[in-house]
Each structure stands twice: as C-alpha cells, then as structure tokens.
Chain A
Amino acid sequence: MRRLQELLQEHFFDQAPIMTAVLDRDYRIVEANGRFRQAFGEWAGKSCFALCRGRDAPCEPCMARKVFEDGRVRVHDEGLTDQKGGRSHYIIRVAPLSPSPGETTEFIIWMASDVKEATNLVRENWLLFEKAPCYLAVLDPTLRIVRANQRVRETFGAHKGQFCFEAYRHKDVPCEECPARRAFETGEPCTAEYAGVTREGKQADYIMTASPMSREEGQTGAVNYLIMMATDVTQVRHLEKEVLDAERLSAVGQTVAGLAHGIKNILMGMEGGVYVMQSGLKKGEPPKVERGMAMLSRNVEKISTLAKNLLSFSKGTVPEVSLVDPNGVAWEILELYGDMAKGAGVQLSRDLEEGLDQAPMDHGGIHACLANLVSNAIDACQMSDKPGRHVTVRTREDGGALCFEVSDDGCGMDYDVKSKLFTTFFTTKGVGGTGLGLLMTRKIVQEHGGRIEVESLKGEGTTFRILLPRDRLPKLPDPPPQEGGDAGSDREPERGDGP
C-alpha cells in the first residue's frame, strides 16, 4: 500500500494533464512537473513571476501571496505565454501545502489546466446561439425560458423565467399541440408552425422545432431541457398570400371577361327573339312569332339564372370550415349522380383511398366542386361517340396534399379549349347553363389554398384533379366544433358497388 502511494505521488505529479509547480514563501519554484517544464523551461531556482511573466517583482495582485497569508485555496483564470511564445488560457488553482490546519503555510501548490480549446468552444457556441438568424431558446420542463438568444429577446421581448407561450404568443396557457411538451414527453424532436406576437404586437409566423438537449440518468431518463429553434416565415407567408391574392384578382378579371361573353350571347339571343318575332309579325307568320317569343323567354330565363348564380358566386366567399371526411363527400357525389350517369349510359365508378384523414374544408364548397366535375365528365362522355364510357371519382393522399380526381373517357379537349377552360362561360353546361361551374370550382379550390389541374386529350378523355395541400387548408373556426362538424364526415362506405 505504501509503495502504491509512493508510485501514485511520483507518477501522478509528473503525468497529470495539468501544469503543476510548488512555490516557497519567496515565490521560488521548488518543484514542478514535466508539463510545467515543457511550457516554461528550466525552473530550478527561478521565481514564478520571472519565469511565467518575465517580471522583476511579484505580480499585483498575487494569488500565491494571498494563499500564503490566509491558507485558503484560490481559483482564477488567466492567459499565459509559454517559452515558445504560444498563448493559452488557463484555469489556475493555488492551494496551501500545510502539514495540518492552523500551521504556517511554507509551500503552496500551483496547478494550471489549459482551457484555451474549451474557452474557444464556449465562445463559438455563445456566438452561434446568440447571433444565429433564427429564434433560439432553452426551456425547462415547466416551459419556462432558461436562456433566449438576441433575436428572441429583441423580437418577442422574451426574458429568462418567462413561459414560452407567454413570450412568443402573449398567452396565459400552453399552445394547442405544443411541440415543446411533446418533445419533453417523447424525448423526440417535434415541429409545429405558429403565428406569434412580437413585442410591438405584430404577427410573426414561425416554424418551430423543439429538440431535447439532455436527459437524466442516461437514455431512459426524462428530458431536462430542450432547445426551441424557430425560423421566421412571416415574409414567406406574406409572399404566399400576395401570390394567392394575385391569383384571386386574376380569377376575378377572367371571371368578368367570361361573364361579358355569357351576357353577350344571351343579349344576342334576346335580340334574336325580338327580331324573329318582328319578322313573323311583318310577314304574318304566327309560327315565326311564336319561335321569336320562345327565344326571348328562354334568354330572359337564362339571364335571370345567371344573375342568381352570380349572386351565390359572390356570396360564397366565406367558407364554412369544419372537419370533413374526403371520402364522405365523394360518396355523396357518387350517390347524387348515380341515376344521371345510368340514364346517360355512363358507368360511374370510384377509387377511394381508405383511411384518409379528415380535413378542415367547406363541405358545401367541395361538394359543389365535385358535383361540377362529375356533371361535366358525364356530359363529355355523352358528347363522345365511343361506346361503354366511364367516369371515375378518385381520392388519395398525394405528397401532403389531399387529392380529388374526376376522370372520363369522353370526348376530351384540345389545347385551345383547355387553355380557356377557366376563362370562358360554357353555355351548354354548368350551373343553369351559364358556365359558371368551372369558375366556381376553381374559386372554391383557391379559397382552400389548393389548385386545380386538367389533363385532356381530344378524343381520349379528361382528368380534372383538385389538389389541396393540407398545410394550406383553412383553419378550423375557434373554438373547434365538438363533433365531426358535418353531415358527410360520418358516412360509412357500406354501400354496394356504387351507383
């Protein structure tokens, strides 16, 4: 045992990864280890201030003197330059070497560990955290902010000890589906998008990831802290909104152009009615008068329907959002158009992806869109000379977007017609023959943050596809509905083979 202690003293002193020296009361170095020699060279008979600092007299203040005076351990940090001119940062511990407490300290031991790398890392981490161009904050399990970076402090006025929901969103209670709470619970990173409130009261949109930072008792313990990292997407959302607005404005312009076309056709029909009637009267041909009357009344009816539909078109600007089962709406359409398809000799079938999640949508609006597309598809089939025509309604999840598709193998369209689909009032179809159907469909789809695509080959058929990215769907009204919220959401697909 005695031998072990001697060995430890001998080897530990020389091999410890710190510089060690022993000083007497005159600050002369009386012993030092290999590392010390490596850094400062031969030490025998030299004073610490001369060797380590190149001074003629002791430093002011001198830690060694204080320890000699009161016998208490001192720890401090300082930068030192070694004999080769290399400068490092050290944590230095100066302790008395006293035989027993109360006795005069004859020697002290001076131990310095190089913390240059660690200090640099700390400084870099601080810079990274503090100056990162995103929101960074460390939270404890009570959701209080332990540390927040400059951007969080400046944007949200957040401070240490504040609840995150208080700082970011001016709320008294944690947010719905709080990513921080989920990350604390699961130990896994969790992401969510929120609209926060800045210290000036402006809206700030951000995408936030809560990532666990440490755990108690290894991998199975609870998460101690987590870091909330958020990217500001206010500008992106702003630009998206501008694009949407521009699309809407453009749709309005196209709607007006299409409307003018529709009205001109009706006007000409009315003029025609009057002309034919006058011509009949002039020539004394009662059947001609009757034909003119019929033309006139048909076109009066048309313009009246157009006016009514325009009214509903303009009124339908506020979607009534509820959680809707996509397949439920598809079933309703299949049921609604079953008889019409059968009567037209068209086979109406379905291909609905099972287990689609509900989505916040305007049930009536999406119903109207699908009704329009299916009605158009049946009509396209009727205009085709091919026997055994089909219309298929499909639903599926398509890369984060909810997809409704209506395909037909009817007459199809050429490029020219396709390019004018949403700019023209189709007078033989749609709502009351005014051709508002596709315009309305596109308007509703855009109000849901989605888009409508058309693929068509003349003589081959057409596919209309409604794509509704789930992250752009309208928000549910606050508070959310208690149960499902719509008639279509609870429908069970337990019918036969469809209409």
Chain B
Amino acid sequence: MCAEPSPGNRPVKVLVVDDEEDIVEYLRTVLEDNGFEVEGALRADEALAKISGWRPDLVLLDILMPRHSGLSLYEEIRRDPATSSLPILIVSGYARPEEFQKMESGLLGEAGVPAPDGYLEKPISVPVLLDAIRGLGRGKPGGGP
C-alpha cells in the first residue's frame, strides 16, 4: 500500500481504533500531517460501523481495549467476507511482536483466522509507523511476520 496520496489521487483512509482518546488524537495528527485521511474509533461497535460505512483502506487496531478484546474485533473483521482482506496493523503496549505471533498462532490459529498484516509496539515512533504503513504496499510492513 502506498501512503499519501493513493495512486488514484485519493488520500489513503486509515481507521485508528484505540480506547485511549489521546492515542487516537496523536495517530490522527501524525497521519494527517503525512497526507492520510483519518477517522478514530474508541469502541468496537463504533469501529465496525466505520468500517462498513466509511470503508477505510487500513485499520490500526489496539489489541487490548478494555471490555472488548481487540482480538475479538479483529476476528470479526476477518470473518466478514466484505472486510476479510482489509489490511490491519495490530498495535499494543502489552506484548512484543514475537509474543503477538505466539498469541496469534494460539488464539487465531485455532480459530482458523488469517494473521494480521503487521504488529506495532507502543509507544510507536512516527518513522516506524509510516514505514509500517508504506511497507504494506511492498508486501508485509516492518515488524510484521
């Protein structure tokens, strides 16, 4: 995936899903400054609504949102044929990428859900974030499996 702007001269649309309003605001500013179009969602139901309505090109998903697991939301997106191929970067401060991969093979593997397109560990630096997104266009992004 290319970043800012897309080949069709339309900015790439990124949905940031995180229960922390400040983190949504931060990622929104970084991405908007770099030519992306950004929407934020603080809750899983809000995220699902924006995915089907706003149709983002990429989702940055916090895996450990309270009350609703980011993994459950991830599974829901992947199981829906309409969104199953939507690029998703998993973001969390809880585990390191290699731990994510273990979690993924344990939880998602058993459920037969394909792996995410990449992992980002909080706190995310701006260059790492942009590299990861740009990397999606060249295959797997940085930090990915």
Contacts and interface: CB of A to CB of B under 8 A. Distances in A.
Interface of A: 257-258, 260-265, 267-269, 271-273, 275-276, 279, 288, 291, 295, 298-299, 380, 383, 411, 413-414, 416-417, 420, 424, 426-429, 435
A417 B67 contact: yes
A227 B69 CA distance: 60
A490 B82 CA distance: 62
Given A279-B33, A416-B72, A268 B94 contact: no
Contact of A261 (B22, B30, B94, B124): B94
Contacts of B127: none
Interface in B86-140: 92-94, 107, 121-124, 126
Contact of A383 (B64, B67, B69, B92): B67
B6 interface: no
Contacts of B122: 264-265, 267-268
Contacts of A273: 22, 26
A19 B68 CA distance: 92
Contacts of A263: 93
Interface in B15-42: 19-20, 22-23, 25-27, 29-30, 33
B71 interface: yes
A295 B92 CA distance: 19
Dominant secondary structure of chain A at its interface with chain B: helix
Contacts of B72: 414, 416-417
A338 B46 CA distance: 31
B66 A429 contact: yes
A282 to B, nearest CB: 9
A427 B19 contact: yes
Contacts of A258: 94
B25 A295 contact: yes
A414 B121 CA distance: 24
Contact of A275 (B20, B29, B107): B29
A278 to B, nearest CB: 9
Given A413-B67, A416-B71, A264 B93 contact: yes
B23 A272 contact: yes
A275 B69 contact: no
A432 to B, nearest CB: 15
27 contacts: A258-B94, A260-B93, A261-B92, A261-B94, A263-B93, A264-B93, A268-B20, A268-B22, A269-B22, A269-B26, A273-B22, A275-B26, A276-B25, A276-B26, A276-B29, A279-B29, A295-B26, A299-B22, A383-B67, A414-B72, A416-B71, A416-B72, A417-B67, A428-B19, A428-B66, A429-B66, A435-B66
Nearest to A416: B69
- The 5 A-B pairs at the shortest CB distance, nearest first, are namely A272-B26, A264-B93, A268-B123, A269-B22, A416-B69
Contacts of A413: 67
Nearest to A282: B33
B123 A264 contact: yes
B22 A275 contact: no
Name the residue among B22, B64, B122 with the largest chain A CB count within 10 angstroms.
B22
Given A260-B93, A268-B23, A295-B26, A417 B123 contact: no
Given A269-B22, A275-B29, A426-B66, 10 more contacts: A262-B93, A272-B23, A276-B25, A291-B25, A413-B67, A414-B68, A416-B107, A427-B19, A428-B67, A435-B66
Contacts of A298: 22
A299 B123 CA distance: 13
B123 A267 contact: yes
B67 to A, nearest CB: 6
Contacts of A411: 67
Interface string B48-69: 0000000000000000101111
Given A269-B22, A275-B30, A427-B19, A414 B124 contact: no
A269 B25 CA distance: 9
A271 B29 CA distance: 12
A269 B123 CA distance: 9
B94 A424 contact: yes
Contacts of B68: 414, 417
A411 B27 CA distance: 28
A420 B64 CA distance: 9
A262 B19 CA distance: 13
B133 to A, nearest CB: 16
Contact of B29 (A257, A288, A380): A288
Contact of B69 (A268, A276, A417, A427): A417
A276 B27 CA distance: 9
A411 B72 CA distance: 15
A412 to B, nearest CB: 9
B22 A295 contact: yes
